[in-house]
Structure formats: C-alpha cells, structure tokens
Chain A
Amino acid sequence: MAQRFTLVARLLHWTMAAAILAMLFIGVAMVASLTDYHRLVSIHEPLGLLILVLVALRLVYRLFHPAPPLPRGMPGVLRFAAKASHVLLYALMFALPLVGWGMLSAAGYPIAPTSWLHLPAILPQNDKLYAVLRPTHTVLAFVLFATFLAHFGAALTHALVFRDGVFQTMASWRR
C-alpha cells in the first residue's frame, strides 16, 4: 500500500473522531439531565474548544500533506460524495465550537472552560443573537451527527464491500 494518510494525519483523525462523537453524545445527554448537567457541561465546553484548536491544526497540516488519491476506478458520484462530505465535516468541526463559543458570548456568560483559562467573548452580549445561535448549535450538531453516520457507513462500505483500500488509508495501525 503506497498511499496512506501520514501518521500525524491518522492520529489527528482518530483522536478527533473519538472527541467529536463524545461531544455529540455529551451534548444531547446534558440538555436532558438535571442531575448530570453541570458535570457534563464542564466537559463539553473545554473539549469543544480543544476540538477547535485541533481542527485548525489539522486543516493547516492537510494543506501541506494532501490526502492520498481515491482509487482511479471510483465513479464520479462517489468521488463527489466523498469530497463533499469531507468538506462538510471540516466546516462543521469549525462551526460547532465557534457557534458554541459565540452563543455563550451572546448570552453574557463568562467563557471559562477551566478554572485557569478565561477566554474573551467573541460576540457582543445580545439576546436576539443568542436566540439564533442556540438553535443553530443544535441543528449543526444534528447535521454533524448525520454526516458522521454517512461517513461511518461509507468507510465500512469501502472496507467490506468495495474493498478498494480506501479504508486502509486511514485505518492502518502500522507506522
């Protein structure tokens, strides 16, 4: 197998995959639990901001280390679906934490993901802005979850049905 994602790219991918999936589950769990709300929010906010840092690093890294090419025989529609879903995933990985940070800013909450880190507001306090951003965070999270499901299903299809080596470009444990 000549072409794989680099070790750094694979590490970033799997770390972020675990983190984002955890964020989606923590998010829906916390807004439906009076008892665990505080505990979960205290993970959600710092982990979400960490994802923002990681996705920024990952995008920069990817510009210098392009993805391996898709198999030559792969039809145009599938290529398009793959490219488009990857662009969408990147966009959502940026948008969700930014909207999260923005909505806390618009609500006038302090942005204190940990006791030693206090971040500035990225938007002015504004009730109308919060009223738009809060549902946006939910909608984007559900779009991200749906995109993740498609991505997960497609990855397994490459691995088990097409068996075209695409899965192994990301999922190979050898250095």
Chain B
Amino acid sequence: MPSDGPGRYDLAALLAPTAIARLGAIGVAVAAVAVAFAWTAGWLSPERLTQARMIDAFEVDNGQHAGFRRNHAKGVCLSGWFEGNGAGVKLSKATVFKSGRVPVFGRFALAGGLPMMPDGPNAVRSLALDFSLADGEVWRTGMNAIPVFPVKDPQAFYDQLVAVKPVGTTGKPDPVRIKAFFDANPESARAIAAIKASEFSSGFANAAYNSLNAFRFVDAAGVATAVRWSMVPIDAFAPEPSDTPPDKNYLFDALAARLKQGPAQWQLMLTIGQPGDPTNNATQAWPAGRQTIDVGLLSIVALQSEATGNCRDVNFDPLVLPSGIAPSDDPLLSARSAAYSESFTRRVGEPKTPSAVQAGKGG
C-alpha cells in the first residue's frame, strides 16, 4: 500500500520533470478523446450533409416562417378512424390489420415550405396519419398524392433544394442549375416526368395518397414481405378544373364542404413487392400488375385548425412503426426521420401565428 506521505500532492512534486511529462501525456489523452468527440459530432467536417444543413436549405429556399413545418407547411388537422378487415394479418402481425376500429388523427397538407401558399393545380397534396393502437403502439405515416418521389436519396434531395434556390433579383430558380441537377440525377428527371404525366385530382377527398417508400411487413412467423401502400379514395376521381378558382384555400374549403356531407373514405391497399422490385429507390414505380390487397377502410370525419396539442405539435415521422411493420433499405426513410425531427425541434420552440386554413366549427 503506498504511504500517504506528505509531498505527493505538493506543487513542487507536480513541477518535477517526470511529473510534468506525465501530466502532458495525460493532457494529450484527454484532448484526443475530446477531438474524437468533435469529429464524431461532425464539428470538424462542415461539408457533411446533416439534418441541420438539410433544414437550413429549406429555410434558404422558402424563408423563415416561425412555428411552421419546414416542408408541407400549409395544412389542417383531421380526425376519424380506420377499420381493418383482417386481410392484412397474413402479411403483418401489426394489430392495426386485425378486424376492428382504431382511432386516427392526422393532417392534410400541401408540399412546400410556404405556410401561406395559395392552393393550386400543381400543389402536391399530402395526407399524414397517426393510428393509435392498443398497448401504446403507434403507426405514423406521411403520404403524397404523386406516383413516385422526385429523388432517390437525401443527397439528391439536398442538391435539388440547392438547385431550386431563388437567385438574384428575379427571385426565381436558375435554369442552368436546375438542368445541371437533372443531368446529374437522371432518375429525378424521369420521376418528375412521371409525376407531370399523372393526373392530379380535383381535391383532397378524391386523391390517392401513396407511401412511395417501401416497408417490410413482418407476419407472426417472422416472414417479411416488401410492401408499398396507398390510400385509394372512395370518392370518384375528377380532374383539376381547367381554370383555377381564385380562392387561396379552394382545395381546403372544398374538403371542409365535402366533410359536411359525411365521412370521406379511403381503402388502404397494400401492393406486394416481388423479388427484384426496387425497395431502395422511391423514384421507381413497381411494375404494373403487382398483387394488391385491400386491408381496411379509412374514414375521415372532421377537420380542426392547427392548434396547441393537436396535429400541429406532432411529428409524422415515417419510422414511428408498430411491430409488424419495419423500415426497408430505402435511404429516404432514415433521412426523413432525421430531418423531420430537426424541423419539429425548430418549429416547436418558435412563436406561433394562426395557420392559413381555419376549420369552421364542426366542419
């Protein structure tokens, strides 16, 4: 046992040459851990594509809109229920697919980072849902009414945000940059062409909303199946009117009017991927004729203005999944989860102003 002799802790002892050398070595060891930490955090590599840089790019393109989502900024809350018909059980053990009703809330929105943008024929409609399952499980999904997604991975998403950045005095994107983006990302050029070729419906209630990303459905025996899903409207399809109504909220107003007549409904259709179907590239549609299964009916009964505690303060993170649904190898999924979290954290801490869409009482 070392003695507790005096001197050991004296300043003189610490200033002895060996002690100084050892203290120096200890300093180097401590500094090395600190540098490793800084490197891991990305503080030494500002070019790394992080969630902060991704969300900054949205803010550069759209400006700062405190309290609003950085994408799909204009929206309204919804409530209703989902009634499973039991047919999904053979693909997934998630309880949502058993026959029976689960409460649902969510959000209709338009893609884009401008909370006051006028509704328009080219605005991409979206539907985000939260299924509150028994024993605290939750399924969240955000779906878009387009056939494929414009980009295949987070880097391409970021490059696209940079490419469409408004420039100079025109306030419009630079066509040269946009062309360079499509040259570098031909799959995005093909996807945009497919989106333009698809016909947009006249409103929210008769639009089909697609998961676009693939997921793995896992059954009770642990067998996984690649699935993409769609909410297919019961309301008959009607094309966009050729002359856009002047009302800035005509899509949302028509939705509120539609719900006054009764619930709007969608069938949840699962599309079963076959070996070889791309699960890691949302710019590519799966071949036509894939088997689809109707697993239940979504009924949306009411809208609520965005307000404290409702859909406004929820992050529809597509990786909030019940057991029985798992992520695929699609790189967009982790990126969405990460970027939505950053957007959520920023907006939740900011002061709030009223949203563009105000749902009338009972509407």
Q: Which of A's residues lie within 8 Å of B, judged by CB?
A: 1-2, 24-25, 28-39, 41, 71-75, 78, 107-112, 115-116, 118-120, 125-127, 130-131, 134-135, 145, 149, 152-153, 156-157, 160-165
Say yes or no for B41: interface residue by CB 8 A criterion.
yes
Take A35-B331, A37-B51, A165-B1 as given contacts and tell me if A118 and B42 are in contact as well, using a CB distance cutoff of 8 Å: no
List, in ascending order, chain A residues with CB within 8 A of B29's CB: 152-153, 156
* CB-nearest residue of chain A to B26: A156
* CB-nearest residue of chain B to A124: B309
Are A72 and B37 interface neighbours, CB within 8 A? no
* CB-nearest residue of chain A to B347: A127
Say yes or no for B54: interface residue by CB 8 A criterion.
yes
List, in ascending order, chain B residues with CB within 8 A of A107's CB: 313, 315, 344, 348
Q: Complex Cα distance A38/B334, Å?
A: 5
* CB-nearest residue of chain A to B6: A73
* CB-nearest residue of chain B to A110: B138
Are B33 and A75 interface neighbours, CB within 8 A? no
List, in ascending order, chain A residues with CB within 8 A of B137's CB: 110, 112, 118
Are A149 and B34 interface neighbours, CB within 8 A? yes
Are B315 and A78 interface neighbours, CB within 8 A? no
A-contacting residues, B100-143, CB 8 Å: 135-138
Say yes or no for B178: interface residue by CB 8 A criterion.
no
Are A118 and B41 interface neighbours, CB within 8 A? no
Are B334 and A35 interface neighbours, CB within 8 A? yes
List, in ascending order, chain B residues with CB within 8 A of A118's CB: 135-137
List, in ascending order, chain A residues with CB within 8 A of B51's CB: 31-32, 34, 37
For this complex, 30 residue pairs linking A to B, each with C-beta atoms less than 8 Å apart, are A25-B40, A28-B37, A28-B40, A30-B338, A32-B52, A33-B338, A34-B50, A34-B154, A37-B334, A38-B333, A71-B2, A73-B4, A78-B9, A107-B315, A108-B315, A109-B317, A110-B138, A112-B137, A126-B309, A127-B309, A127-B348, A134-B345, A145-B37, A153-B30, A156-B30, A160-B22, A161-B14, A163-B8, A164-B2, A165-B2
The 6 residue pairs across chains A and B that have the minimum distance between CB atoms: A37-B338, A28-B41, A131-B349, A32-B42, A38-B334, A73-B4
Q: Complex Cα distance A24/B323, Å?
A: 28
* CB-nearest residue of chain B to A108: B314
* CB-nearest residue of chain B to A26: B40
Q: Complex Cα distance A39/B335, Å?
A: 11
Q: Which of B4, B334, B348 contacts A130 (CB 8 A)?
A: B348
Q: Complex Cα distance A153/B348, Å?
A: 39
Take A109-B315, A112-B136 as given contacts and tell me if A73 and B8 are in contact as well, using a CB distance cutoff of 8 Å: yes
Are A37 and B37 interface neighbours, CB within 8 A? no
Q: Complex Cα distance A87/B315, Å?
A: 36
List, in ascending order, chain A residues with CB within 8 A of B344's CB: 107
CB distance from B220 to the nearest CB of A (A): 13
Say yes or no for B292: interface residue by CB 8 A criterion.
no
